[in-house]
Structure 1
C-alpha cells in the first residue's frame, strides 16, 4: 500500500475553462516502440521470471516460454498470410495459451477483436460481420456457433480451438505451437494511431459496438507499475480490464494468476491465499458477490496490496465491507473503453469514499449541461473525458463514433456526475437511465443506494415500468444475501420509510432473484432485468 500511495497525480483546475487535469504524463519506454515491441523486449530481458500460473489448469509458464509460444503463434499467422490490415477474432476463456495468442497479435501488429463467450449467436454474427476476421480463436465449446457464423457470413476463416477440441474441422492450439519460429523473428512496429485491439462496448443499451483501442503507451497506468508482482484479473480479453491486465503483465514483469472457470468467490479467496496475490482487478458486480460470500469474513486476504474495481456502479456498503477486510488500498477506477487509457482513480477511499477519484495523468475531465456549457464544482452534468490521443472510433460505425467524440476530441460518456471542490469525481447515474414519474425526473441509482443499505440485500437493480397515468414507476430486482429471509414487501416497506417522495417509491413492485441479469462483460443490464421482471409479473397475473 505504501508504494501505491507514492503515486499521487497532480490536479489542476482551470477556473476559466472549468476543466480538471491530472497533469502531464510521460512514457516509460522509448516513444517509438509499439506495445508489442515493449512486451517482446521486456520478456526477452527477464526470461526466467514466472509469467503465468493457471489456477484451474495447474500450468506454469516462464516469460521465456510464453514469449516463444507467442512467437510460434505469430509465425503461424504469418504463414497464413495475415497482414496488419487483417483482424483475428477471439471468443475464449482465460486458458493457458490465450495470452500467447494475444501477444502474437501484438508482435505482428494485427488487431484482435475479442467477444464474450456469453454472447448470443445474433450478437456474434453482427460483430464478426463488421470486422470479418481472417482467423478466429475459440474454445471447443463455442466452435459450432463460430462455424455457423462464418458460414452464414461467408467468411474464409481458419478456426483455432484452445481446449475441448471438436473431433474435426478445427486447428488445435497444440498443433499451432509446433510451428517453427520464423528465422530472425522480430516483432512488427506499429504507429500510435494504428489499432492495437478491438473490444466490445458494454451492450447495456443494445448490440455492443466494436471499440478500437489505439497502440499507445497511454494504456499503461503508473499505478500498476508500482504494485506487487503477482496479479489476478478475472476479466477475459473482451473487457478493458482483461486487455490492460495482460499488457501490464508483459510490460512490467508481473506474474498473472489466471482461471477459466465462472466467477466463484470461494475459489477466488482460495487463489488469493495460495498464490499470495498482491493486485486484484475486479468488476463491481464481482466485488458485490465477493463481499456477500459467507466465507468472506474469514478469508485470508492479507497478501492484497491493491484491489482495483470499476466498470459500473458499486454500492458504498459493499465498498466499505471490502475495505474493512483488506490492509492494502481499495481503488475505484473510472474510464470508458473508448478512451483507451485510465480516466480517474480514487487513491483516497478513506477520505473520499464512493468517489471515482481524480483525473489520471494525461487525462482531463469536464462536466457539461444540456447545452454543452462547462460547469463548476459540485454541479451535476454529463461527464466528459479527454486524453488528446487519436481514436479510430467504433469499427465500421462512423455515425455512433460522432455521437460520443466531439470535434475537440472530448468523449461524451453519457454518465452524470460532478467534480467536488477537491477535484474528485462522483458518478450519479447514466444519462440514458433517467426516468420520469408523475412528471418528475429521477434516477434508478437514487433508489438503489437506499435499498443497498438493507443488511440482507446483496445486489439490486432498479428500472422503470411504464404506467399510462404516472409514467415510469420504479420497480426492482433484488438479490438477497445467503440464508436471508428477505421478501419483496420488506424492500418496498424499507424504501417507503426512507424515501418520502411518492414518485421515487417502488410503486411497480419488487421481485427477489437468484442473480441479476448482466451484459457479456458483467455489468448489470437494466433492460434485461426489466424484461425478466415483466415476465415474472405476467406469469403471476396469469395464474
Structure 2
C-alpha cells in the first residue's frame, strides 16, 4: 500500500540536503505583521474570529481591530517603540488577542509567559526582556509586582480589578484618533523582532525566543474562513500564537476557554461550536481519543487534527483516525524556534512511532555526524534545520544562540535520519530536555533533589515514554552501603521539593547496583533508560 504523504520532500545527492516544496512569499518581506493584520481585519469587518466560551462574547474582525487600535494608541502615548517590550502573562481571555495585535500595530514586541510557571522561572524570563508594561490577571497582581520589583514596570490587569491599578478595559474607551490610525512601519526590516515566546535550552532554564515579523507573515494555515478552530494552547505556546495569528490572516473562528485541558469538556466544545480544526499536544490527544465519550459522531465535522509538541504512540494516532473517518490527523515535528518542520499523515499499522514525516514547504534539513559531515539516507546524526528566514535567537543569551545557530542552520540537538522515502525519523535527543504534558523539565534538577537524601549514593533520572503524557520521570537509584530507603520515600521527597505535577516521578523508582557509564565516567542516559525499562514488570 502506498504511503500517505502531505508534502513531497526532495533530496540533493551532492549537498546531502533534504528540501520541502518551494515556498513563495505572499507578502512583501518588509511588511510588518501589524500592517497585514490591520488590512485583513479592515477588509472583512463582520467576520467573527474569536468566541469566548466562558461568557459567550464574540469578536468580529472590526471589533478586534478597534480594540487593538485603542491599545496601540495607548502604547504610542507611553512612547513605546520597537526597542521596548510588553509583557503578557495571564489566562486565555477576551483581551489577550487584541493586546497582542496592538503590539504588532505599534511594532513593539510582546513577551508572553505561561501563567502556570513558578515565580522563579517567571522572574528569570522577564528579567531578560524587562518589559516596560506588564499585563497580568488581577489575581496574579501581587505575584507579578514582586517578580518585577527590580525594574518596576507599569502593571495593568487583563482580568479582574485591583484598587488603584489600571485595567485593560480602562484603555479601551473610544477616541477620535482611532478613526485615522495607521499601524507603525518597521524601523529596520522584516527581520525585526515581532514577539518573544519561551522555550527551554541547554542551561536547564527556559529561554526567551525572538521571532521576526517575516516569521509571522510567513505563517501558513490549513484552515479557511469557514473553519472553526479549537485548542487549549495559550498565546505563550507557539501553537496557541499561530492559531491566533492564522485566524486573523485567514478569517476563521477561534474558540477560547479558560482552565486546564479536560477531555469531556473538549468534546462538549467540539460539538457545541461544530469545530472543524483541533490542535492538541500528544498527551491531550491520548485523553481525547480514548475518552468514553469519543465517538465517530463527535468528530464527524472535524476535518483536521493537528498534533505537535512531543512523541506520540502510533496506536493513539490510529485510534484517532478510526474516529475521524472523513478527517486528517496531522502529526508534526517542530519547536518554538522553527515552527512546524515536518508533517506525517501516514498512521497505518506498519508505521514507526518515530516517523515524523516529510518536510513542510520552505524547510531544509541535513543530518550531520560529530565531525560536521553531512550524512546520506539511513545514517543517524544531528538534525539541522534551515527555516527559510533569519532566526532571531535567544534574547540576552548570545552563548546559547551561537551554539544553536551553526552557519545559518538551527541545531536543537535532536538525533535522527531520513529513510529511503525521505521521511524523517527522530531516534533520541542529544540534549537531555524532557517534556511531560507539554511542560519541559530537566532530569538534572530531579537528580539533585534526590541526591539530597543521605541514603542515596548516585541517581539517574530518565524519561519513560507514556502514550498519554510524554516523558514520565523515573529514577534509577544506587543506595549507600548499609542504608535503607524505599521507592515511596523517594517519590514523597521529590513531591515535597517540587510542587508541579510534570516534575513528579510518575514512572517511579528502580534500585540498581550500578549505572551505565562511558569510559570517562559520564552516565549514559539513553542506556540508563533501557535499564529502567527492562526492570518494569
Post-superposition offset of 1:460: 6.2
Post-superposition offset of 1:347: 3.6
Instruction: State the match for 1:172 in structure 2.
Output: 167
- Alignment of structure 1 residues 35-434 onto 2, 5 Å: 35-151=33-149, 153-155=150-152, 157-166=153-162, 168-178=163-173, 180=175, 181-182=177-178, 184-190=180-186, 191-202=189-200, 206-217=204-215, 220-225=218-223, 229-297=227-295, 300-326=298-324, 327-339=326-338, 341-350=339-348, 352=351, 354=353, 355-406=355-406, 408-433=407-432
8 Å contact 1:323–1:330 — kept in the other structure? yes
8 Å contact 2:356–2:423 — kept in the other structure? yes
Instruction: State the match for 1:497 in structure 2.
Output: none
**1:465 counterpart = 2:476:** yes
Count of residue pairs the alignment pairs up: 468
Of 490, 501, 504, the residue aligned with 1:529 is: 504
8 Å contact 1:89–1:135 — kept in the other structure? yes
Rate the CA distance shift 1:273–1:306 in 2: closer, same or farther, 3 A: same
Q: Deviations over 1:228-254 (max 9, x none)?
A: 521122111110111111111111111
8 Å contact 2:473–2:507 — kept in the other structure? no
| Distance across 2 between alignment mates of 1:324 and 1:530 | 33
Post-superposition offset of 1:24: 1.4
8 Å contact 1:22–1:364 — kept in the other structure? yes
Rate the CA distance shift 1:262–1:325 in 2: closer, same or farther, 3 A: same
Secondary structure of the 2:301 match is coil
Secondary structure of the 1:224 match is coil
| Distance across 2 between alignment mates of 1:217 and 1:252 | 16
Instruction: State the match for 2:533 in structure 1.
Output: none
Post-superposition offset of 1:275: 0.7
Structure 1: gaps of 5 or more residues: 436-441, 470-475, 477-487, 489-508, 537-543
Instruction: State the match for 1:479 in structure 2.
Output: none
Most deviating of 207-216 and 293-302: 293-302
8 Å contact 1:292–1:458 — kept in the other structure? no
Post-superposition offset of 1:462: 4.9
Post-superposition offset of 1:463: 4.1
Most deviating of 458-467 and 129-138: 458-467
| Distance across 2 between alignment mates of 1:414 and 1:530 | 25
Instruction: State the match for 2:528 in structure 1.
Output: none
Secondary structure of the 1:213 match is strand
| Distance across 1 between alignment mates of 2:508 and 2:359 | 38
Post-superposition offset of 1:111: 0.5
Rate the CA distance shift 1:399–1:460 in 2: closer, same or farther, 3 A: closer
Q: TM-score by structure 1 length?
A: 0.79
8 Å contact 2:229–2:254 — kept in the other structure? yes
Post-superposition offset of 1:114: 0.4
Q: TM-score by structure 2 length?
A: 0.80
RMSD, aligned α-carbons: 3.3
| Distance across 2 between alignment mates of 1:227 and 1:203 | 37
Post-superposition offset of 1:535: 13
Most deviating of 157-166 and 88-97: 157-166
- Alignment of structure 1 residues 434-453 onto 2, 5 Å: 448=465, 452=467
**1:19 counterpart = 2:17:** yes
